[in-house]
Amino acid sequence: MNPSKVSYRIPFNKPGLAGNELRYVADAVVQGHSAGEGSFTRECQAVLEQILDVPRVLLTTSCTHALEMAALLLDIRPGDEVIVPSFTFVSTANAFALRGARPVFIDIRPDTLNLDENQLESLITSRTKAALPVHYAGVGCEMDHILGIADRHHVPVVEDNAHGLFAKYHGKRLGTFGCLATQSFHETKNIICGEGGALVINDPRYIERAEMVREKGTNRSRFFRGQVDKYTWEDIGSSYAPADLLAAFLYAQLEKHEQITAMRKRIWNFYYTNLCDWARNHDVQIPCVPEHCEQSFHMFYVVMPSLDARQALIAHLKSRGILAVFHYLPLHLSKMGREFGGWPGQCPVTERVSDCLLRLPFYNDLSESEQSEVVDAVLHFDAWLDLTKKHG
């Protein structure tokens, strides 16, 4: 949840610069191509295609828009159903609701907070047109199990990989399992350009249509490649290609992706090492990364024993000038979620985690001394927890 405008000594997020952003943006301006589909867009797409080892990546204006493109490519229509975790950002469901689909909410596993693959099969009906695993915190969902079920029922899988760029599941990159996957480069993510995203196309059958959907339903991409001598309206679509100015910014980040990951790994490990014992002794859950997953180091969260404890810890940190935040409100209990049939108790793990989860400050430039302050503040919250135990 977004905080009020109070300024904090240690904020929750600071968009990090990798170094060459402004130079590349200036290059894009000087080159005279600041609109979409310019050279920086092509460079970013090529880097992503190479690292992910996928047939095609298309930059988009956001992960939300990449999800909307996925809904268009899968021909989602009124009456269709899509299976989405209730514990996710609105866009995972909204992009499909926009096409008239009904989101069917699935609960999460209590350990990784990812979609509970054991509940998937029971939610599939003849109307199911997609399943959307979200790799929460950049830790892979149980893709072998999910793909097995989805294949058996011929349900396309779209990975919402907003958190998990470059992470791996059983040695294979997240975002390369579903027929389509989506990425976010919003300023709160690991690799950023302000607002941005990408559609990862793993099934080549979607490439040609995806290019048209992104270019307002036209075959303009073919025109740019010299494959046709004029472009025209061929399909439905919208304006989903980012300005090359943003791609220039993004390219500067992508070329330093290893350093960025290393910085974030240090921060994650520091929290983990220093909060492990405290968590164990106070019934607090910290992130679980299964052995077969290599995570993206996107965030560090704690799941407190109760809503009161979570709120009190946020207030305690705030009193020390530290901003900690929470998310997501269960989608099945939102106004829209209820209109789609959501009810209290439908996704009990989501409901508990949503009440109790708190995210600690996490950004590339978070210094070790700032992080020690955060850890120290958390450890000094013991007094409150002990007190509530005695009186509870």
Ligand X SMILES: Cc1ncc(COP(=O)(O)O)c(C=O)c1O
3-state secondary structure of 174: coil
Stretch in the footprint of ligand X (CB under 6 A) among 19-27, 87-95, 298-306, 332-340: 87-95
How big is the chain by its Cα radius of gyration, in Å?
21
Is residue 275 close enough to count as binding ligand X by CB under 6 A? no
The answer to whether 164 contacts ligand X (rule: CB under 6 A) is no
**Considering the rule CB under 6 A, would residue 253 count as an interface residue with ligand X?**
no
Our finding on whether 159 is near ligand X (CB under 6 A) is no
CB of 109 to ligand X, least distance (A): 16
- By C-alpha distance, which of 151, 158, 145, 153 is closest to 85? 158
# of chain residues touching ligand X (CB under 6 A): 13
From 85-93, 231-239, 286-294, 360-368, span contacting ligand X (CB under 6 A): 85-93
3-state helix, strand, coil in the chain (%, to 5): 45, 15, 45
Whether residue 167 contacts residue 295, with contact meaning beta carbons closer than 8 Å, is answered with: yes
Which of 92/219 has CB closer to ligand X? 92
DSSP 3-state of 322: strand
Residues 104/126, Cβ–Cβ less than 8 Å: no
Binding residue for ligand X (CB under 6 A) from 97, 162, 303, 314? 162
Q: Which is nearer to ligand X, 246 or 385 (CB)?
A: 246
350 binds ligand X (CB under 6 A): no
CB 139 within 8 A of CB 291: no
**Which residue blocks in 53-186 are alpha helix, DSSP H?**
63-73, 90-97, 120-123, 143-152
H or E element: which one contains 133?
A: none
Q: Is residue 91 within the footprint of ligand X (CB under 6 A)? A: yes
Given the rule CB under 6 A, which of 6-14, 18-26, 83-91, 211-219 is the region that contacts ligand X? 83-91
The reply on whether position 105 binds ligand X by CB under 6 A is no
Out of 186, 257, 316, 318, point to the residue binding ligand X (CB under 6 A). Answer: 186
* Least Cβ distance, residue 159 to ligand X (angstroms): 10
List residues near ligand X by CB under 6 A.
62-64, 88-89, 91-92, 134, 160, 162, 184, 186, 197
